[in-house]
């Protein structure tokens, strides 16, 4: 799997900080509207939402095509960061 770009949110006390991390070959993020629970794939062939959980395996939404939403099934406790990944 080749990771083209990532939108990342970090959960901090009292709010959420959002950062964009982009691999060198990525021109721009192809998704937007990323939150703790879901993210929209605007133009990637495939993307999915994820939550990094403290002291537990990460949780993932389904891989979705262009124009679709990838969502988490539950609101997870101890989320330390979240975002979307394209392939």
26-48, pLDDT tens digit by residue?
Answer: 435 787 789 999 999 999 999 99
Dihedral sign from CA coordinates of 50, 85, 70, 63: negative
Report the relative pairing of strands 47-53 and 79-86 from DSSP bridges.
antiparallel
What is the distance in angstroms between the CA of the first residue and the CA of the last residue of the chain?
6
Would the pLDDT of 25 be above 90? no
Q: Which two tokens stand for residue 46?
A: 């495939």
What is the pTM assigned to this prediction? 0.69
Contact present, 11 and 80 (Cβ < 8 Å): yes
Helix H segments across the chain? none
pLDDT of residue 26: 40
């Amino acid at each position: 799997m080749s990771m083209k770009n990532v939108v990342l949110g970090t959960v901090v006390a009292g709010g959420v900080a959002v950062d964009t991390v982009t691999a060198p070959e990525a021109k721009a993020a192809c998704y937007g509207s990323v939150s703790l629970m879901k993210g929209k794939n605007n133009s990637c062939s495939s993307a999915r939402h994820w939550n990094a959980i403290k002291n537990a395996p990460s949780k993932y939404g389904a891989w979705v095509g262009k124009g679709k939403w990838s969502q988490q099934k539950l609101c997870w406790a101890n989320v330390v960061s979240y975002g979307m990944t394209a392939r």
